[in-house]
Structure 1
């Protein structure tokens, strides 16, 4: 039973939004709409399937925005690491960093000029250039020692100290608001179950298991950045990035994104089958300027939440979503050249604030509970469309807290104090996740790696 995915429905809810207000504050009204669930444990295969359908996690809370009703539609965005080529600005950031590490050149300049006034460009693949001075065996020819370390996502005194500094100076949190417990629950504790990675051409320094990690960045022994990432069968999924405000000149957010892409590329080159993407941190929001930085990395693809198909993020698609900032518009409407009207729920436009370029705000787990909407959110099913037999055949786990003991049975074989309430809860979970992604032992082999079991503790 150790490899099972367990899903505890939290339900459909609304809460305040961090995108419809100035940076560091939240909206006054509960305009953010989403479905959420608690996940005590989850296989990496199952989570890969979830993020491919628009879900994201914050600790062990997994959520999906209602793209028709939420005030700021949040699109899943992923970058092809095989086709990515660093642009001029990204190469300038890499070159400035390398000059600092190698020669301690003053940090304020993006590029140097030769005697003819032309930029000095380092030739070679972008990933080789950015790792030129990383983890060297000899440090005699450089001014600074730049080291990276991929570690389990554990809360330590060192990582918490940087997180606290970052939250207080960048997000203006009060000191008493930043706790080790909050840090551990948000960015360290993970429901993902480790599973081994198979490489055709193994290489030292690459992760041995899929799971959750901290990629630590140190200069001369000082921790200056923490990339919180999930390594999944098809991607490196960026969760959060923490950086030392004293190093703002270095554009560490851009460097970390490039380093995550380099990790996915290196894993693929070592023969990790299926590895080809970086899922950028959080979501992409069309009308939130500082959430749009993710589209600077090309070629990127956006997920159409109604069809669960990825589309290349072109200027045309970008402009289409910018001009329709709320409500769900199928991407196919663009290619079919329809007008802006569409059936469904359309929310009036409103002003969109900005967020920090890196470090998406944590999702609010404890929002106010709302009734299931009609029609269902894009990409979700109608809970009433399932037959009683379909629901009764789903596997349900009713173990106590933290999954102690074992009791798994078909939903229809169990008795409940409030059967109608529990039936509704299970139907909504099946509609959100997809009933085909839940284990049904009657109609199939027990596919515990790729499917989930409902957990009602």
Structure 2
């Protein structure tokens, strides 16, 4: 059945075929894009197709398939040399976003530059940032915003004003493929393994290095950002009444994400010696005429010889599995890495999944659940997660109980604007990674799985287990988890650790995860932290790009590239100005410069009616 739409008919006195024809073409651009074989969707868009502002007629229903025929007929009636001056309704002046496969976001920008409390230097009104409330956002859009210095706290996205704020916060990423363990990180992994195996606590319960509350990349305080939640309800109510259905024709969108096929794991570990007797014998010269008869060599039908240590290790795992015990993911990883290549250092996975004895004192399990409420595991453990968060905030960060209630927990660590998008063997969206020790929840890591990285949002844990350095241990587990996701989605290559603050000694630890890169605040390019540290030793704000001629390649050249959601309709900003004026031009200009040109095609700025 043909798609049907509602629009305002042109005025009866309007006989100009240019205006009527363009109005129909504009309406066609707004409502078409869904092929006939797709499921029928009712799209309600009110469009003024009359060339004269103020002409109002009763809405009529018209078949969308007839629009193209009517448009061609009206164009044939118009003189070819009759050119009209440019106007907001002229085809060259109006740009409509291409059809998208639900790949769009709706945000409300807050044009406020007042200072608020800084969680790092503890100043009361010196931390300055810009922010927006994300009513809807895809993982791909948020991934692109991370590359421009944005972070989220719940549904609120913020970006520090680097030249005005007290503590400059630089986005930091880690290349997981080339990650190298430090001596202190190896020490922590061995300490956790020793505790699980024997139950012995090391260092008499003292926290590791600077204190574990500041030893995790996910340790940024989410409570020290402006609270604009009171402004969300009004906007959300209007959006619920808005029937904004974007078409699902992903083939016509030039910005949609491409599905990535999974890569098979290597069947043969690197560094394995070549087992071929023929190569060596062929290279040796013959010394006598009586050459001994060659042996048949190893039987290819039989398994290759292995070290007795590896065989004993697999037997222990097999015995544990057959004896009725659960083969946890950690032990499965241990079985995978049982055969270690020669002359290679111990990898992160080998440290994490080192086999435990059969009579291990403790059992640690890591469970990843969706945090949007659709997961029954998350719903069943919500109370435990919240009480753990409350205890952590009150004891470690000295927060009052009023700021750690259930509503605050939902607002900052449960609610997320990211749409959970399961495609292929992996899922994009927000998750909670839970750490269970002997059936007791001791830590939770809040994660965002994005198309190119895994973003660590926050981590909280039981203070009674601070002797295990759970902050560092959890970050190492998340790096290994990122590597595992990379096997399913090769585009995931980075571990995003939030912000690096050079002027705050408690936040410099993030640079110990190597190799890390910092984001230049002017060109939005990534640079090795080793080259950035000398610059930050001189000035707290610094440009990392060495080329002085290079600028922001994703800068917005024209505000006409901005699309706004106004009166339940997505329209170009130029048309919005003709209706409401340009009093908010400075606000829209700042918003566009901060999110970048590529994001404006999918990110619609909400404007109140």
Q: TM-score range by the shorter chain?
A: 0.7 to 0.9
**Are 1:452 and 2:603 counterparts?**
yes
**Are 1:124 and 2:346 counterparts?**
yes
> Structure 1 residues 247, 379: closer, same or farther in 2, change over 3 A?
farther
Which deviations, in whole Å up to 9, do the C-alpha atoms of 1:251-297 show, x marking residues without a partner? 000001101100011111x23121111001x3101110111111111
**Are 1:324 and 2:424 counterparts?**
no
Which deviations, in whole Å up to 9, do the C-alpha atoms of 1:198-252 show, x marking residues without a partner? 45xxxxxxxx311000000010011111101101011110101101110110000
Q: 1:235–1:264: 8 Å Cα contact kept in structure 2?
A: yes
What is residue 345 of structure 1 aligned with on the other side?
A: none
Deviation at 1:107, TM superposition (A): 3.3
d(CA) in 2 for partners of 1:284 and 1:414? 39
Q: 2:525–2:545: 8 Å Cα contact kept in structure 1?
A: no
**Are 1:61 and 2:156 counterparts?**
yes
- Please give the secondary structure, in 1, of the residue aligned with 2:591: helix
Residue from 93, 111, 115 that aligns with 1:15? 115
Deviation at 1:417, TM superposition (A): 8.0
What is residue 562 of structure 2 aligned with on the other side?
A: 394
**Are 1:211 and 2:429 counterparts?**
yes
Which deviations, in whole Å up to 9, do the C-alpha atoms of 1:402-450 show, x marking residues without a partner? xxxx5323333347885233333322211221234212xxxxxxxxxxx
> Structure 1 residues 128, 293: closer, same or farther in 2, change over 3 A?
same
d(CA) in 2 for partners of 1:147 and 1:434? 41
d(CA) in 2 for partners of 1:414 and 1:176? 42
Q: 1:44–1:233: 8 Å Cα contact kept in structure 2?
A: yes
Q: Which one is further off, 429-438 or 48-57?
A: 429-438
**Are 1:421 and 2:583 counterparts?**
yes
* Pairs within 5 Å for 1:38-57: 38-57=133-152
Which deviations, in whole Å up to 9, do the C-alpha atoms of 1:152-172 show, x marking residues without a partner? 125711110000000110111
Residue from 384, 395, 402 that aligns with 1:169? 395
* Pairs within 5 Å for 1:212-251: 212-251=430-469
d(CA) in 1 for partners of 2:172 and 2:577? 42
d(CA) in 1 for partners of 2:552 and 2:444? 33
> Structure 1 residues 20, 188: closer, same or farther in 2, change over 3 A?
closer
Q: Which one is further off, 157-166 or 412-421?
A: 412-421
What is residue 361 of structure 1 aligned with on the other side?
A: none
Deviation at 1:81, TM superposition (A): 0.6
d(CA) in 1 for partners of 2:586 and 2:535? 37
Residue from 152, 158, 171 that aligns with 1:76? 171
Query: Which is higher, the Rg of structure 1 or of structure 2?
Result: 2
Which deviations, in whole Å up to 9, do the C-alpha atoms of 1:293-322 show, x marking residues without a partner? 1111101011111111111111x5213202
Deviation at 1:18, TM superposition (A): 2.4
> Structure 1 residues 32, 249: closer, same or farther in 2, change over 3 A?
same
TM-score by length of 2: 0.55
* Pairs within 5 Å for 1:76-115: 76-108=171-203
d(CA) in 2 for partners of 1:224 and 1:380? 45
What is residue 157 of structure 1 aligned with on the other side?
A: 383
Comparing both structures, which one devotes a greater share of its residues to helix?
Answer: 2
> Structure 1 residues 73, 379: closer, same or farther in 2, change over 3 A?
farther
d(CA) in 2 for partners of 1:417 and 1:182? 39
- Please give the secondary structure, in 2, of the residue aligned with 1:102: helix
- Please give the secondary structure, in 1, of the residue aligned with 2:584: helix
> Structure 1 residues 177, 34: closer, same or farther in 2, change over 3 A?
closer
What is residue 271 of structure 1 aligned with on the other side?
A: 488
Q: 2:148–2:594: 8 Å Cα contact kept in structure 1?
A: no
- Please give the secondary structure, in 2, of the residue aligned with 1:265: helix
Deviation at 1:144, TM superposition (A): 0.8
Deviation at 1:184, TM superposition (A): 0.5
Query: Unpaired segments of 5 or more residues in structure 2?
Result: 1-100, 207-343, 374-378
Q: Which one is further off, 146-155 or 208-217?
A: 146-155
Cα RMSD over matched residues?
Answer: 2.7
- Please give the secondary structure, in 2, of the residue aligned with 1:13: coil
* Pairs within 5 Å for 1:378-393: 386=558, 390-391=559-560
Deviation at 1:95, TM superposition (A): 0.6
Which deviations, in whole Å up to 9, do the C-alpha atoms of 1:358-417 show, x marking residues without a partner? xxxxxxxxxxxxxxxxxxxx969999x63xxx43x6332236xxxxxx532333334788
What is residue 271 of structure 2 aligned with on the other side?
A: none
What is residue 297 of structure 1 aligned with on the other side?
A: 513
d(CA) in 1 for partners of 2:514 and 2:533? 13
Residue from 173, 189, 192 that aligns with 2:415? 189
- Please give the secondary structure, in 2, of the residue aligned with 1:14: coil
Residue from 421, 438, 450 that aligns with 2:600? 438
Deviation at 1:173, TM superposition (A): 1.4
> Structure 1 residues 382, 145: closer, same or farther in 2, change over 3 A?
closer
Q: 1:48–1:232: 8 Å Cα contact kept in structure 2?
A: yes
What is residue 296 of structure 2 aligned with on the other side?
A: none
d(CA) in 2 for partners of 1:382 and 1:33? 22
Deviation at 1:85, TM superposition (A): 1.5
- Please give the secondary structure, in 2, of the residue aligned with 1:165: helix
> Structure 1 residues 259, 242: closer, same or farther in 2, change over 3 A?
same
d(CA) in 2 for partners of 1:380 and 1:248? 45
